[in-house]
Amino acid sequence: MTRSSMQLRLLAALMMLVGLSVVVTQTQAQCPTSGLAACEPAARSDVQPTDTCCTELQAYLDTNTPEACLCEAAAALIGEDVQYAILIPEKCNLVYKADITCNGIGIPGGY
């Protein structure tokens, strides 16, 4: 991985965390505290997420602030490969609002 690529990832992670803290403060999101460890393999390569991953991610959407929680889940996976991590909700066939953007990064899919 090149130095500039690493710097871009770090910058994206910092931007997402700063933006997420604003969203959470504004909406008082009550997102699950369970980790998304089961989703990490699908966030590292172009593979289908496991049922466990999809179930854990669904818990983020079963809240009164699903968009904020989906952004929180995305932030949790930001250390992984973003191009794959943002595809996980769609691959899990989860139902969520379309056109969700988390700090400039669009989450594909939605209805």
The tokens describing 7, both together, are 């710097």
Longest CA span, the chain: 40
* Structural domains of the chain, count: 1
pLDDT digits (tens, 9 = 90+) for 19-37: 544 444 444 568 887 778 8
What are φ and ψ of residue 106, in 5° steps? Answer: -80, 140
Quick count: other Cβ atoms within 10 Å of Cβ 48? 12
User: Amino acid letter at 37?
Assistant: A
Instruction: Give residue 72's domain range.
Output: 3-107
pLDDT digits (tens, 9 = 90+) for 27-68: 456 888 777 888 888 888 778 999 999 999 999 899 999 989
Asked if 54 contacts 94 with a C-beta cutoff of 8 angstroms, the reply is yes
